């Protein structure tokens, strides 16, 4: 019996570690983003994915060693917490990126406008949230452009540079196409199962999941539909700052990689 539990535990941990797939997603030649979490406060090992991402200029963390973190949110639909999240970010003067779907932009234009007005980056999560690894390039282009147009209609952000692929699905083909379309893929190095709105577990759960794995250079993925996240955010930011972390925008990450180091000044 004990052995059975151990096996079950290992199995569960395996799935939790390989977020967010929860299922094996290699079907049509695509990969589901995932990594092995560690408790050492280091960037998680992503195995073979690192090489593929590097080849196409995609990111999942900042490897510079700087004690920085990047907050990113995925917004597929609204549950009423994004205003609170924006309030906390404003209060602490923390930049973030919000990856939006078409449904989100159409139903929450005022929140989208607020994100842009308050200096956050709006990223592309595609219009209809399809698995991009199984669509044609033309369809992918359409998914990205229709979202850009929707965002431009309701906010001052004209250009979108960052893509978070729906469901974390990617392939060499989608990484290449995104680049050709002017996009940089942004994956993540920290996340947990936070999107089940009927299974929220209290702010402490969100707080511990993030703080237990915090590491220099983390790109943190949070879903705005989580009431736990909304309640934990203020405490997370306070504690990370106490630990010496700085919050930066994705532009900081991407720009410093493009500039020669002496010019950048660090
Ligand atoms: Zn999504």
203 Cβ contact partners less than 8 Å away, ≥ 6 residues apart:
228, 231, 232, 235
Sorted by where each begins, the domain ranges of the chain are: 47-264
Residue among 120, 125, 185, 223 flagged as catalytic: 223
E strand segments, the chain: 31-32, 68-75, 96-100, 121-124, 162-163, 169-170, 184-185, 218-223, 246-247
Look up residue 266 and give its DSSP letter: -
> Ligand 1 centre from 128 Cα, in Å?
10
**Predicted structure pTM score:** 0.87
Neighbours of ion ligand 1 (CB under 5 A): 74
Helix H, strand E, coil C: the string for 223-248 is ECCCHHHHHHHHHHHHHHHHCCCEEC
> Ligand 1 centre from 169 Cα, in Å?
10
> Ligand 1 centre from 260 Cα, in Å?
34
Q: Based on the residue annotation, tell me whether 63 is a catalytic residue of this protein.
A: no
pLDDT digit string (tens) for the chain, length 266 residues: 444 444 444 343 334 344 443 334 445 579 999 888 888 999 999 999 999 999 999 999 999 999 999 999 999 998 899 999 999 999 999 999 999 999 999 999 999 999 999 999 999 999 999 999 999 999 999 999 999 999 999 998 889 999 999 999 999 999 999 999 999 999 999 988 888 888 888 888 889 989 999 999 999 999 988 888 888 999 999 999 999 999 999 999 999 877 765 555 54
Work out whether the CA dihedral 224, 191, 88, 249 comes out positive or negative. Answer: negative
Contact 25, 8 (CB under 8 A): no
> Ligand 1 centre from 76 Cα, in Å?
6
| Topology of the domain comprising 47-264 | TIM Barrel (3.20.20)
Look up residue 114 and give its DSSP letter: H
Q: Based on the residue annotation, tell me whether 117 is a catalytic residue of this protein.
A: no
């Amino acid at each position: 019996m004990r052995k059975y539990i151990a096996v079950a535990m290992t199995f569960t941990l395996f799935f939790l570690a390989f977020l967010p797939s929860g299922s094996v997603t290699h079907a049509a030649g695509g990969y589901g983003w995932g990594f092995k979490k560690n408790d050492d406060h280091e960037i998680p090992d992503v195995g073979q994915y690192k090489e593929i991402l590097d080849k196409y200029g995609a990111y999942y963390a900042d490897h510079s060693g700087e004690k920085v973190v990047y907050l990113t949110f995925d917004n597929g639909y609204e549950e009423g917490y994004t205003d609170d999240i924006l309030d906390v970010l404003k209060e602490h003067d923390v930049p973030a990126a919000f990856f939006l779907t078409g449904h989100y932009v159409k139903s929450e234009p005022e929140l989208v406008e607020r994100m842009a007005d308050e200096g956050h980056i709006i990223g592309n999560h595609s219009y209809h949230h399809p698995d991009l690894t199984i669509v044609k390039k033309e369809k992918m282009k359409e998914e990205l452009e229709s979202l850009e147009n929707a965002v431009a209609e309701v906010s001052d952000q004209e250009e979108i540079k960052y893509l978070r692929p729906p469901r974390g699905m990617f392939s060499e083909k989608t990484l290449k196409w995104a680049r050709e379309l002017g996009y940089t893929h942004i994956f993540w190095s920290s996340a947990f199962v936070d999107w089940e709105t009927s299974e929220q577990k209290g702010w402490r759960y969100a707080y511990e999941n993030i703080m237990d794995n915090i590491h220099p250079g983390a790109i943190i993925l949070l879903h705005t539909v989580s009431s736990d996240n909304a309640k934990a955010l203020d405490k997370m930011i306070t504690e990370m700052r106490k630990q010496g972390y700085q919050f930066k925008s994705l532009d900081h990450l991407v720009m410093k990689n493009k500039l020669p180091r002496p010019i950048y000044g660090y």
